Amino acid sequence: MRKMIGAFALLMVALAAAPPLEAQAQRGGRGFGMSLDDQMTALTERLALDEEQVVTVREILEAQAESRRERFQGVRGSGDRSAMMEMMRELQQETETKLAEVLSDEQLEKYREYVAEQQQRRRPPLSL
């Protein structure tokens, strides 16, 4: 009987963990942030992207994600937080430069606002 109760408890824990793990897998396993599909949905709506822009912006963001993965593989584990932050700034600047070729000035400004909001959401609140 105890084995049966133990197995049932283990099953309940596994079922309770399934939705968060599924959501993490949908986000690419990162454990935070938006998936590319969610990001594109938000940007398409917010920037009023036309169909051609949607395709190009998606390609740019996919390339950014791949570049980020490659760059962080070399730095990960080094503990050099300032180097990682500098890499992120460089990557963001490269992305903005590419997007500036596709977006209007108004759309680019809205993109910058969007990025700033996303960065703000990732920061932990200040404690007093």
- 53 and 16 co-located in one domain: no
Do residues 1 and 53 both lie within one domain? no
64 and 105 belong to one structural domain = yes
Residue 20 resides in a domain: yes
Please report whether residue 24 resides in a domain.
yes
Structurally, the chain folds into a number of domains equal to: 2
Question: Does pTM surpass 0.75?
Answer: no
Which range marks the domain in which residue 18 is found?
A: 1-31
Domain shared by 20 and 48, yes or no: no
Instruction: Give, for all 128 residues of the chain, the pLDDT tens digit.
Output: 666 565 555 445 555 554 544 444 444 444 446 899 999 999 999 999 999 999 999 999 999 999 888 887 876 777 777 888 888 899 999 999 999 999 999 999 999 999 999 888 876 666 55
| Spatial contact of 81 and 39, defined as CB atoms under 8 Å apart | no
